[in-house]
Chain A
Amino acid sequence: MRKLFVFMALAVLCLTAIGVAGEKTALGVAIRTLTNPYQDNYRVGGELFAKVSGQELVVLTCEGSSEKQVNDIKSLVARTKGDVVFMIDPNEATDVLPIAIALEEAGVYYATWWNKPEDINAWDYPHWVTHMSFDGISAGIFTATELFKTFPTPNKGKFIAIQGMLSNSIAQDRFNGVQQALAKFPDVQMVATESADWDRTKAYDKVKSMLVANPDIDGVWCANDNMGLGALEALRERGLAGKVKVTGTDGTDELIDAIVKGEAAATVYNDSKFQAGISLAQTLAAKNGKLVVADIPKEKRQFFCSAVNVSQANVQDIITNYIKGSTVYDYEDLFGSFVRTME
């Protein structure tokens, strides 16, 4: 019996940690985990927006369980009695469908990021405000153009390209960007290209062997930061690090460090603080009637948007304003980052 009382006392004690639900619309951020810095920045971005809008932020982490993510989203709807909007990074692309069904049933506005099945479209669901993803083509154009600038004779020389997993559409988009940049600079030549499946070690091996045939290159373009860092190791072994620059995409701390040291030319920073903030701004506007979802042009219901370009010129500024601190985001311009629509 004593055991039961001790138990109840302890349980009540534990649950005093419970927060009290506010009167305002809750801002739900449904993500995978808070242990990964990229994902944790979703929380930071949500907090920034909550401060501006004066709402309560609720972060839901699914820790890799799709079912938990759907359940948590529904539980928050139950708790707020539907007075909630969601920014969601689905655990798996296919989870978009059960989430959409649950939130349409509840009449709650939501926005999603990154991947979704191709045959499921936001415009078929009246409460699905937007589905966004960062644009691979403009990332490819930017990083390639910056790389060409760092050649001994700017915009004239040879480079090699390391692509991501060839079956991924984002890998194809980024490489498509490189080809568009190449078309603009006739004096630049791509002497070889390979795929390293987004992998650092594979990129290291590939670049090492490519350097045998092409020792006189002026740059190495890589589709992500991981491969860029692998390529950098291969260059370092040859004593070329710093002379021949690499590029990446994603904006990891390591590659941004390499830009500071002058070993990398550019990367594109995927700003998850921006992702969380803009989605919450869009969905809250829809909820408050400031944005009529049915009136949003179809091409803006699901689209690719621009990320933060990082090069030698602005790297210090990016570190102060994005990596260490937070820039002031414009939450009024809901579609300002639009680049191109997602078919």
Chain B
Amino acid sequence: MTVQAEEFEGAKRTLAGRLKETPSIYFSIAVLVFFVLLFYWHEPAFLESYNLGIIGLSAAILLTVGIGQCWTIVTGGIDLSVGGLISLVSVIFVLTVGTLGLWAYPFCLLIGACCGYINGLLLTRIKIPSFIATLGTGGIFVSVAYLITPKAVSVPGGSIKLLNVVNGSTFGQKNAILLSLLFFLVFFVIQYFTPIGRNIFYVGSNIKMSWLSGVNIVSTKNVAFTFSGIGAAAAGLILASRQFSGYPTIGAPYILSSIATVVLGGTAMTGGAGGMLNTLIGAVLMSVLQNGMTVTGVDVYLQQSLLGTMIILCVWVSFDRNKVEIVK
């Protein structure tokens, strides 16, 4: 009898235990599937290819900026300068694509990397918390963009063809989506198969232990912020190409939505847990929510508060507290 009872309890524990050990990503996927079905049930047009294209395009921008943001959040930091950087890159791209041609793309990514590296240096060398450092640099990036041009600038008519790198289609799929997936793949490989990717996670989960194990904390954090700069620059390039223009506040909405994207995917704000795959799910979920509310006809007054509620609910379900002892 006692043996049986113990066995029964053991089985129960395994079920609960198994659920507890389920990585947060499965919760995020479950939430995503749930919303897709809910929106589809309400409005069948939601899953038509035209609408999927809209979701894909907005997810592409969120994915690139979110992937960058994810690296800084994994180290336990945050990058509030992504909005300013997206604006700056959009303006520089639009103004240089006429003269540099296709070279404007790598040029802007380089600018993003440099700006991200500066953020890293402020954190690691001057030891200013990333929240404050990037708040400051974000303001500087916006102001530089204003100094370059206070008004919105359009891509010159002759260069519109060059934007097909982003705006065109390959194998029937939109390039912007393919490029963001490629971007995702590169950083996915970096996360799982390179020492630097692993080190960033080590630093995020236990900084003292990683230091004791000989991880170079300074360069690791610098790399994380450089990745964030590259992510923001890539988002700025896609955004400027899609809009055929750039202006100094174009990136402002992406400061918070990039953080929301990362968190929605189940990456912990405290660092060390989550990653690229989570951000992919987060980006799709975020754009599904935004698009779904318009497609199903949610009242405009309600949309913002519903999105906020959804974010809180999703994080509540998907956030993996097993790896986090205290929520700050």
Q: Which residues of A contact B (CB under 8 A)?
A: 1, 3-4, 7-8, 10-12, 14-15, 17-21, 34, 58-61, 63-68, 70-72, 74-79, 81, 92-95, 97-98, 106, 117, 119
* Distance of A4 Cα from B33 Cα, bound (Å): 13
In the complex, chain B residues 13-71 whose Cβ is within 8 Å of any chain A Cβ: 19, 27, 30-31, 34-35, 38, 42-43, 45-46, 48, 50-51, 54, 57-58, 61
Interface of B is mostly: helix
Q: Mark B139-182, 1 if CB is under 8 A from A, else 0.
A: 00000000000001110010000000000000000000000000
Contact B317 A94 (CB under 8 A): no
Which residues of chain A are within 8 angstroms of B19 by Cβ–Cβ distance? Answer: 1
Contacts A75-B291, A76-B294, A78-B50; A92 near B245 (Cβ below 8 A) = yes
B43, B245, B249, B297: the one within 8 Å of A95 (CB): B245
Min CB distance B194 to A, Å, is 32
B184 CB within 8 Å of chain A: no
Contact B42 A18 (CB under 8 A): yes
A34, A67, A75, A117: the one within 8 Å of B242 (CB): A67
Contacts A4-B317, A94-B152; A79 near B42 (Cβ below 8 A) = no
Contacts A11-B34, A11-B313; A17 near B299 (Cβ below 8 A) = yes
Binds A, one of B74-82, B114-122, B269-277, B301-309: B301-309
B107 CB within 8 Å of chain A: no
* Distance of A93 Cα from B243 Cα, bound (Å): 11
* Distance of A72 Cα from B46 Cα, bound (Å): 13
* Distance of A72 Cα from B298 Cα, bound (Å): 12
Contact B250 A11 (CB under 8 A): no
6 contacts between A and B (CB under 8 A): A7-B316, A18-B42, A19-B298, A34-B301, A79-B297, A94-B153
Q: Which residues of B contact A (CB under 8 A)?
A: 19, 27, 30-31, 34-35, 38, 42-43, 45-46, 48, 50-51, 54, 57-58, 61, 152-154, 157, 239, 242-245, 247, 249-250, 252-253, 290-291, 294-302, 304, 306, 309-310, 313, 316-317
Contact A66 B250 (CB under 8 A): yes
* Distance of A95 Cα from B291 Cα, bound (Å): 19
Contact A74 B54 (CB under 8 A): yes
**In the complex, what residue of chain B is closest to A56 when comparing beta carbons?**
B297
Contact A21 B253 (CB under 8 A): no
Which residues of chain B are within 8 angstroms of A117 by Cβ–Cβ distance? Answer: 154
* Distance of A72 Cα from B295 Cα, bound (Å): 9
**In the complex, what residue of chain A is closest to B16 when comparing beta carbons?**
A1
Contact A68 B290 (CB under 8 A): yes
* Distance of A7 Cα from B318 Cα, bound (Å): 11
Min CB distance A99 to B, Å, is 10
Contact A61 B58 (CB under 8 A): no
Contact B316 A98 (CB under 8 A): no
